[in-house]
Structure 1
Amino acid sequence: MLYSSSFLALNPAESLDNMHVLKQDWNLDRKTAIGVISVNSIDFVNLVFDRFKKGQIVVFLQSETDFHKIQVTGVTEVVRPEAKFGWCDTKFTPQPTSSIAQISFTSGTTGQPKAVLLTHRALNDVVERLNSIMEVDASIREYVGVPTNYSFGLGRCRAVATAGGQFYIPENGFNPLEIREMLRQGSINAISAVPSLWRTLFQCEEIFGNETDGVRWIEIGSQYMSRAEKERLLKLFPKANIVQHYGLTEASRSTFLRIDRTRGEHLESVGKAYGNTDIKMSADGKIMIKGPHVAEMLLVEGQPKNNLDPNGWHTTNDLGWMKDEYVYYLGRADDLINCGGVKVSPDNIEKFIRKTLNIQSGIAVARAKDPIRGEVILVSTLADGGLDRQSVKDAAIQAAAAHNIHSPDAVKLMELDEFPTTATGKVKRKQLTELYSARLESLHAAKQVKREEPLSQTEDDRSLTDCEREIVTVWKNVLNLEQIDADSNFFEMGGDSLTAISVMVKMEKLGIPPQIVKGMLQGLSVRELARRIESTEDKKATSHTITSYYTKTGMNINIVRGLLVLCVIFSHWYAGFANRLPPIVGNIRPYISPILAAGTPGFAIIYGVSAGYSMFSIFQQDRSRLSQLLRSTFIVLAGGIVISALLRLSHEFISGQIQSLTDITNAFYSVLAYYLLITATLPFWFKAIEKSKNPAAKSILISILLYCFYYYFISGISAYEAHGFVELIKLVMTAKYSYFNLTAGTLCGIAIGITLRQNSQKQGIPNSFVWIGCACLAAGFVVCSHAGMSESWFVWPTRKTLLWGWLFYIGWILLGLDAIHKILSGYNQFSASKKFVLQALATVGILAFPLYVTHGMVLPLRQLMVAGGLPSTFSLFISFSLFLGSFAFIFKKIHSTNFTW
């Protein structure tokens, strides 16, 4: 399995006591209960699947300090998955046994959350029914719009993996713009999301066209969705198998509704039971569920509790009714708030606010309807309660965040003269919800309700530019605010990931450049966004800034690669220039030999760094996309090799130098031949390391073995005589650009790149790079001296890179990456000229292969023109000018794309 996680071993004393109770009462096998921190990540999914396979019980935790859950479930080890996103093709084989697979927690109305114990058989039953109803097959490629650490999201991953398909986890959450592009590319054919996310998509459905015909499967999560909304979804995705389910943590996916096969009033339902599942209503109107997927055991307040009655039925706290076997959901009997799929108890929110404000009464929490999230948190206060309104709002936002609801707009306030209560003084939460709804529907119905004052500062529209006014209008519309502060950013005004999507779509419709729209998610204010737009319209470039670790690291790698490309070009042309300059220039060659020799090994290493940093993650997530990238590089390299060979052969033909087939085949040999081969075989090396828990370490190990194989076996082949194509193959395997030797260096670079990617959360170059780099430099000197090859430092050109050379240049690159990272830390404060120098080097690095190809054509083209009768100096001028002209043209294009707005 692909995962790389951190572990925390716990003192099991108290935990084992509780686990003993579970084993004794429910006959659990003596397996280790593993606590897994719930995070949205591919690593989380793979880790859960792997622990299932090993027969361990997975306990979902919020953090390493979730001590109550750890103690009541007997957890002795906690694992924190890493944040990984994109495509995943992990396969999952269900285990239909009665042993416990996972322990989840669901909120109750009071006290600690209850633990729900689910067996492998229960999970397997859900997947079998779900995949059967949806009619999925191994071709499914799903966009999972709900975080994988939610029951719905993890269930989708489990279903897709069981079917043999692939799923995509978006790094920044559900995004209709991303979905549209992926549909146009044909990279997805399935989507899963909860109703609140589908409502976000409805707000911008006009951006979609015929690409929606490519959607074959859709699953909708367990929240209320109206008949009209389902019919709207049917119209938008006319060729999809659309399934909605109803369920809860204790009984996931208990009913299914095939929306695409249902018409009329039944679309208002949540479907009916399938397989071995049964549904009925209790005497007081609560939904009751029976089946192999229902959890048999719970832990409530740390004490074991049977979840089923003597006849095997589980009674929910959801109200409903049935007609023609279809279940109609009416609401939650226990008043739980389902905010965008996150379920929270109003009692727990109340307790948090009271503790924060140090009060005993004066507030009441209920749910309120919301068009985007389904439900939000409604906090009611008393007019004569003496509570500061802003303090209550701040405390409520903190309480919501503590329960994984991170949008300030998910909290609403309402002020009343008195709370509606029962005869015993209990607040009637349903009436609070009704009062708030009435307040929104009509101001005349709000005699008891005092309107909430806007929190934002007023902004005189007359002081805004036209561009600022357009952005303010969009934000007002989406955030439902009367006033917008032009100096506050989108998130300060109450925006979040859900509403950000709507704003991005509307800004795109206004014709705002996409790169400017991205600035919104970087926290730019209305004025800052408008300035960038206006500067774009005036054709004035906006200064490029580094906004993330990924931007900085990518630029760092490109700068190092650019320096190495310049070293290669300098070394290839040094002799020609030195012969035309005073002798002193040629005499310094021994002292600059390490620089002249740096190009071949250094570029192989930095090629690996780039591959490990960016391409390895793509390989893990979307191999088809990596194939497209490598195919483009392969075509460039192959074209360069052929053109260079034809130029060389044309010259040799005119000058009568071609004597045999070997002369022809050898014309195709150069360093480009190595990069053509490594580009074609890179997926093979990725596959060799992907299954390892530490792919960087395995990459280094393979590198050492590959170098030994080259040094002790392959290099000896060079002594054997060969001709024609066999000679070309021998050159590729044994000569200066030996595939095995250079790949050993490339694999070391891949290890460095993977380490940089894994260090992204720390936002810096690993401290180990400096001391490892120094150690490699020292080791290179020691090995060279011990082998009696000290003079080699002053010799160039070299026939091949030996061990001491690899050690030296690996150290050189590690220290170079660290040094440039430190330089880039002050990049945003640099002057335009300093920025341009770094941008130019990075652009050269981006153009590495085109430069490799075109600079290698300069001399063959010059020789061809000389052989045709043109003067030597004139021929050199023409070929060199063509190289510089083509480079300047493409340099301007690439620089403009990457470093200007």
Structure 2
Amino acid sequence: MNFSADREILGIVSRSSISYVKGVFSAFSKGSVVVNLRDENDRERCDMLGISQILTPEDDTGWVSDLNYPNMQERSQDIAQVLFTSGTEGKPKAILLSYGALANTTERLTSIMAIDSSIREYIGVPVNYSFGFGRCRVVSQAGGKFYIPPNGFNPSEIAEMLQRDKINAISAVPTLWRILLQSQELFLGIGEKVLWIEIGSQYMSRAEKEQLKALFPKARIIQHYGLTEASRSSFLKIHETEGEELESVGKAYDGVEVAVGGNGQIRIRGPHLASGQIKDTLEQRLVDDDGWFTTSDQGRIENGYIYYEGRADDLINCGGVKLFPEALEQDILTELQARRGIAISKIPDSLRGEQPLVSYLSDTNIDVEQLREVSNRVMLKHGFNAGKTLKIMPCKSFPMTDTGKIQRKKLSEQYQSNESLSTKSANTEAKQASPDSIADKLVDIWENVLKISPISLNDSFFDLGGDSLSAITVTMKMEKAGIPKDICRKIFEGLTIAQICQHFKSTQSPLLANKISQLIAIWEDVLKIHPISMNDSFFDLGGDSLSAISVTMRMEKAGIPKEVCRKIFEGLSIAQIVSNMDQSSDASNALTEKTKQLVQIWEETLKINPISIHDSFFELGGDSLSAITVTMKMEKAGIPKDICRRIFEGHSINDIVRSSDEPAAASTIALRSEQEPNTPSRKIPLAAGSQALNMVRGLLVLLNVTAHWMPGIIDRLPAVFAHFNKYLAPLYSSGTPGFAMVFGAGIGFFFFPRYQKNPQSVTPVAFRNAILLGSGITVYAALKIISNLAEGADIDGLVVSNAFWSVLTYYFFAVLSLPIWLRALTWKLNFSYSCLIAALLFYTTHLVIDAIQISPSNNPLIQPFILLLTAKYNYFEMSAGVMLGAAVGNWIRNTIVREGSLKLFGMAGLLLIGLAVILSYEQGQFSFWFIWPKGMFLWTWPFYLGVVIIGITGVYRYATSQHTHGWFDTFIKVLVVVGVLAFPIFIAHELVMPLKDLLTAMRVPGAFPLTIILFFTAVAYMVKRLYQVQFGSIS
């Protein structure tokens, strides 16, 4: 061991924060020894280890990225960190961890989980403990990002971050996973976004692990087993394991060995072991001469899997807080100034896993109340708050082994055998004392959860020793028993059962009383405290962040607005929280019906159910055309037009409804509209991304129209303009491939997120577009056929068949293929990668068909399909371009959701353009750039893909900037509207020439200018109407 005095020993106050992690990493990079301190005045540890400097980190939380874990190979034998654990005698024991041991654990974990730089992890455990700090090391070394939640583990926050694609990995201990499994409905449809999960070393049943596998089907789920002295000694690959082996703690990997000695104790050997320990100021070895570390854990090995059977010394694991019975006994006896008569064992606890049982010999002079007080005080020092939930059992004698050791398991069995009868008797007595139905329910629930009987109507939940986790359980049971939520919440105010019932009876407003009852029930259930006063705050009652999160989730489910629920973190009491609700009750009642209306409208349009009022339209996968449909329905529901338009800015239903009902908000919007009439949305990234995509689509539609008409116009100009068409050829050529790829980008940006939420929601949209295109194709064919008849041409089946072919025909089949494509693209791989593979397969198929040279058919029923395979707008070549666009659209959306930069996309666009130019030159086709019309070549696709990418990223950057240019904003908005109307405009422009031919055949004078005027009039009308819906009047 290298723990010499010439190295700096840094004491760092142990806090779960960003500054703590950065402080430890910084110390490691300097080669210092880091020691966790309980506080700034932790003289015991400072004196023991000769700490030369103390660092007090800030309590900062949130995202951490670009944090490099230092490589300390040259110091692999040096001590890096000193962690403390309780010894069997109750005195602190310092465990010495080397740089090499930490590095080995990090490397093995990275390998077993196949972690890469794409990881974005929600670390649900404190990062100042071994488990959480290990996750920080692994993620940082991989080049990923991790998130330290400000209020601890929160399933609701996790679900929201998954929904927004901000995280793809989660780490937590089994106790926290059990809380998450109680809210599985939050993760339906988004569980597959989780790619990595690590579970701590507490016991977790096979059934619980199977639930996690089902909830997160694409995740690599790893549970580890280890100790402070031997971190992560085995790994169980839950995602690959079936059957009874899920009850194990896995296998040892990569140079780590695990064996079971003759006495059944687990032994561990490997490079990850601690270098030693300091006990009673003496430095000691941990391993024997063969390098084996013998644990105090019992276990067995079957088929290579390690089965953990418990601690030899009956360690008690209370929701992650580990208690050693011998240490507790010694401390209690010391405070009681007694030498014998106390035995500590463990009994099951449905929420925390285990809790301590204090047994005492009845023939001793031990006062029970003094024993309870001392035991609570001692356990609190060891990190566990039992309070009145502490179980105490008198015994005539302790069961002993032949060697004189207490048989703790038999003590636990003795307690449990008497528990059921005791609970029933206490419940009966309490019910006789309280005729009130609510009091009966509260007594039953509290006694059942706290295992205390009888409970007085004048006791509060926290006076009875309830903690935050048990309080969560109580409130949940109270709600299920039909107790109003507002009454439930009074548990957190410290009110007694009698006070809660009296408050309920004396409350004038039944609605307000109901809310108070609900809150009291929730708080009492979570904190296991009774009674709770409505004037206590959650943290005054001893609630922690974890239980506060559980409470807020249940409050939300109870219909309490999110912003009101969050008041719990501000330290407000139940009375103050309900008061906040009461002050806005009129507004809330007014909002309720409109909120329901909007939710119904959005669900009907998007075919997604249920929809949260806190989701924005674009987050749900809505596109601009659907948004227009929704805004029209919202106007009919009585929402003002200017408020309806906020849907295009990315606002949620909650924001929209409150804006429509709050005069201040409405006036603010009106004022902003007057001052900045043409300013695009600049704060909602997905809305800006939608605008950018629609703008590029609109530009390409106009280029497509231009390509069909502009050459003819230029040909009629003076000879000096004769060469203009040559130089405009690259623009003319952009319409077909560019529009195909921006069509694909819409699939990746809009349709794939919608498909993820509800696969059935895409089919109606596909059919809607197919009907629109099919109608356009039919009208187009009819005009061509009628025109031919008017000109006296012969009409046969083949002519009729060919009349239906145009680029619209491809898009007709493409939109019908959309549900099939999405199902195939989401089968196994990442969506964007699947799109690239599909593009390769489509283009390869196109080349094969082209090489076969399929001949045209005279059969009018077969010829359309031959055209679909071989014509200029053939299915496979066009679909290859669509798939490229879909991949890019999804990548861009994910980057926006993750709040990343699109600069790299712009650079990629430039590289694609350069590649296309080089390819065309290398293939001897450079001259084709200036030919129009022409077919499509391999280099066509990367060139116009680059153009599309640059267009989207450029407009997005402008739309999210703080700079405004009135005329340019209006121009952008017009193009956005044109993009939304892409298919109608595309269809209308295809009808111009057939209509002109028909009018000419009918000898209508000025046929061409007439059709052009009709086209532009119709387009101008549609653009104006849609502009007014989306942006208001043009100024």
TM-score, length of structure 1 as denominator length: 0.54
Structure 1, unaligned runs of 5 or more: 1-21, 542-626, 636-848, 855-901
Is 1:182 the counterpart of 2:185? The answer is: no
Task: Report SS of the residue matched to 1:92.
Answer: coil
- Partners of 1:631 and 1:205 in 2: CA distance: 29
- The 1:79–1:530 alpha-carbon spacing in structure 2 relative to 1, beyond 3 Å, is closer
Please, which of 107, 125, 136 is the counterpart of residue 104 of structure 2?
125
Please, which of 514, 537, 545 is the counterpart of residue 466 of structure 1?
514
1:141/1:188 contact within 8 Å kept = yes
Question: How far is 1:104 from its partner?
Answer: 1.6
| Corresponding residue of 1:422 | 400
**Counterpart amino acid of 1:65?**
N
Is 1:91 the counterpart of 2:63? The answer is: no
Is 1:40 the counterpart of 2:16? The answer is: yes
**Counterpart amino acid of 1:515?**
E
- Partners of 2:87 and 2:388 in 1: CA distance: 20
- Partners of 2:291 and 2:119 in 1: CA distance: 35
Question: How far is 1:629 from its partner?
Answer: 6.1
Question: How far is 1:518 from its partner?
Answer: 2.3
Question: How far is 1:75 from its partner?
Answer: 2.2
- Partners of 1:450 and 1:64 in 2: CA distance: 38
- Partners of 1:502 and 1:71 in 2: CA distance: 40
265-274 vs 393-402, which moves further? 393-402
| Corresponding residue of 2:313 | 334
Question: How far is 1:445 from its partner?
Answer: 11
Question: How far is 1:188 from its partner?
Answer: 0.9
| Corresponding residue of 2:354 | 375
**Counterpart amino acid of 1:233?**
L
- Partners of 1:288 and 1:294 in 2: CA distance: 11
**Counterpart amino acid of 1:34?**
L
Higher relative contact order (CA 8 A, sep 6+): 1
Cα deviation 1:292-351 (Å, max 9, x = unaligned): 111232222222221111111100001111101100111111233333323333344445
- Partners of 2:514 and 2:57 in 1: CA distance: 47
Question: How far is 1:202 from its partner?
Answer: 1.4
- Partners of 2:368 and 2:118 in 1: CA distance: 54
2:316/2:322 contact within 8 Å kept = yes
Is 1:169 the counterpart of 2:148? The answer is: yes
- Partners of 1:105 and 1:192 in 2: CA distance: 22
| Corresponding residue of 1:52 | 28
Question: How far is 1:180 from its partner?
Answer: 1.3
Task: Report SS of the residue matched to 2:584.
Answer: helix
| Corresponding residue of 1:31 | 7
- Partners of 2:8 and 2:84 in 1: CA distance: 18
Question: How far is 1:370 from its partner?
Answer: 2.6
Please, which of 235, 258, 280 is the counterpart of residue 214 of structure 2?
235
Question: How far is 1:453 from its partner?
Answer: 4.2
- The 1:241–1:304 alpha-carbon spacing in structure 2 relative to 1, beyond 3 Å, is same
| Corresponding residue of 1:822 | none
- Partners of 2:292 and 2:223 in 1: CA distance: 23
Question: How far is 1:34 from its partner?
Answer: 1.9
Is 1:296 the counterpart of 2:284? The answer is: no
- The 1:479–1:75 alpha-carbon spacing in structure 2 relative to 1, beyond 3 Å, is closer
| Corresponding residue of 2:767 | none
60-69 vs 215-224, which moves further? 60-69
2:109/2:138 contact within 8 Å kept = yes
Task: Report SS of the residue matched to 1:137.
Answer: coil
Please, which of 25, 47, 59 is the counterpart of residue 71 of structure 1?
47
Task: Report SS of the residue matched to 1:304.
Answer: strand
1:189/1:215 contact within 8 Å kept = yes
Task: Report SS of the residue matched to 1:75.
Answer: coil
| Corresponding residue of 1:81 | 57
**1:571-590 to 2 correspondences below 5 Å:** none
Is 1:104 the counterpart of 2:144? The answer is: no
Please, which of 118, 131, 138 is the counterpart of residue 159 of structure 1?
138
1:221/1:244 contact within 8 Å kept = yes
- The 1:205–1:359 alpha-carbon spacing in structure 2 relative to 1, beyond 3 Å, is farther
Question: How far is 1:44 from its partner?
Answer: 1.1
- The 1:415–1:270 alpha-carbon spacing in structure 2 relative to 1, beyond 3 Å, is same
Task: Report SS of the residue matched to 2:166.
Answer: coil
**1:93-492 to 2 correspondences below 5 Å:** 93-96=70-73, 97-353=76-332, 363-380=342-359, 392-405=371-384, 407-408=385-386, 412-418=390-396, 420-422=398-400, 427-440=406-419, 443=422, 451-454=452-455, 455-456=459-460, 457-459=496-498, 461=501, 463-464=503-504, 465-479=513-527, 485-490=533-538
Identity %: 42
Number of corresponding residues: 532
| Corresponding residue of 1:551 | none
| Corresponding residue of 2:553 | 505
**Counterpart amino acid of 1:458?**
I
1:376/1:410 contact within 8 Å kept = no
- Partners of 1:268 and 1:312 in 2: CA distance: 28
Structure 2, unaligned runs of 5 or more: 427-449, 461-495, 505-512, 590-680, 690-960, 967-1035
Cα deviation 1:258-286 (Å, max 9, x = unaligned): 10011111100000000001111011111
- The 1:391–1:177 alpha-carbon spacing in structure 2 relative to 1, beyond 3 Å, is farther
1:204/1:505 contact within 8 Å kept = no
Question: How far is 1:452 from its partner?
Answer: 4.5
Question: How far is 1:30 from its partner?
Answer: 3.5
- Partners of 1:853 and 1:398 in 2: CA distance: 68
Cα deviation 1:419-472 (Å, max 9, x = unaligned): 52437876543334334444555648999x995443423326365132233333
**Counterpart amino acid of 1:412?**
L
- The 1:628–1:339 alpha-carbon spacing in structure 2 relative to 1, beyond 3 Å, is farther
- Partners of 1:139 and 1:392 in 2: CA distance: 54
- Partners of 1:439 and 1:171 in 2: CA distance: 43
- The 1:520–1:111 alpha-carbon spacing in structure 2 relative to 1, beyond 3 Å, is closer
Task: Report SS of the residue matched to 2:46.
Answer: helix
- The 1:88–1:482 alpha-carbon spacing in structure 2 relative to 1, beyond 3 Å, is closer
- Partners of 2:259 and 2:92 in 1: CA distance: 26
**Counterpart amino acid of 2:36?**
F
| Corresponding residue of 2:430 | none
- Partners of 2:397 and 2:520 in 1: CA distance: 37
- The 1:314–1:425 alpha-carbon spacing in structure 2 relative to 1, beyond 3 Å, is closer
Please, which of 511, 515, 518 is the counterpart of residue 563 of structure 2?
515
1:200/1:498 contact within 8 Å kept = no
- Partners of 1:98 and 1:188 in 2: CA distance: 35
- Partners of 2:70 and 2:527 in 1: CA distance: 45
- The 1:270–1:439 alpha-carbon spacing in structure 2 relative to 1, beyond 3 Å, is farther
- Partners of 1:539 and 1:357 in 2: CA distance: 59
1:336/1:344 contact within 8 Å kept = yes
Task: Report SS of the residue matched to 1:328.
Answer: strand
2:171/2:199 contact within 8 Å kept = yes
Question: How far is 1:116 from its partner?
Answer: 1.5
- The 1:487–1:62 alpha-carbon spacing in structure 2 relative to 1, beyond 3 Å, is closer
| Corresponding residue of 1:828 | none
TM-score, length of structure 2 as denominator length: 0.47
**Counterpart amino acid of 1:518?**
R
